[in-house]
Amino acid sequence: MNGESWRRIATEEAFATRELAGAMRRLVDAGGSSVDLMFWRGLLFREDDDRLANLLDLDERRLATMDANGVDMHVLSLTSPGVQMLDPAEAAEIAADANDQLAAAIARHPGRYAGLAAFAPQDPEEAVREMERSVTRLGLNGFIVNSHTDGEYLDQPKYWPILEAAEALGAPIYIHPRSLPDEAVGPYRDHSLWTAMWGFAAETGLHGMRLIVSGVLDRFPKLKIVLGHLGEGIPYWVYRIDHMYPKMARRHPVRIELAPSEYLKRNFVITTSGMNHHPALEYCLQVLGPDNIMWAIDYPYQAMDEAVAFMDGAPISDADRRKIYSLNALREFRITG
Contact of 176 with 147, CB cutoff 8 Å: yes
Among residues 263, 259, 196, which one has the least CA distance to residue 224?
263
Residue 185 neighbours by CB distance under 10 Å = 18
Residue 317 neighbours by CB distance under 10 Å = 11
Q: Chain centroid to CA 161: how far?
A: 19
Query: How far is 236 from 273, CA to CA, in rounded Å?
Result: 16
User: If you ran DSSP here, which 8-state letter would residue 46 be given?
Assistant: -
Single out the catalytic residue among 50, 87, 298, 318: 298
Query: How far is 246 from 251, CA to CA, in rounded Å?
Result: 10
Please state whether beta strands 268-271 and 225-227 pair in parallel, antiparallel, or not at all (unpaired). parallel
Q: Looking at this protein, which amino acid is placed at residue 159?
A: Y
Contact of 234 with 258, CB cutoff 8 Å: no
Is the peptide bond preceding residue 172 cis, with omega within 30 degrees of 0? no
Query: How far is 198 from 210, CA to CA, in rounded Å?
Result: 19
Among residues 218, 203, 201, which one has the least CA distance to residue 163?
218
Is the peptide bond preceding residue 290 cis, with omega within 30 degrees of 0? no
Q: In the annotation, is 242 catalytic?
A: no
Q: Quickly list DSSP for 218-256.
A: HHSTT--EEESGGGTTGGGGHHHHHHHHHHHHTTSS---
Query: How far is 144 from 139, CA to CA, in rounded Å?
Result: 15
Active site residues: 298
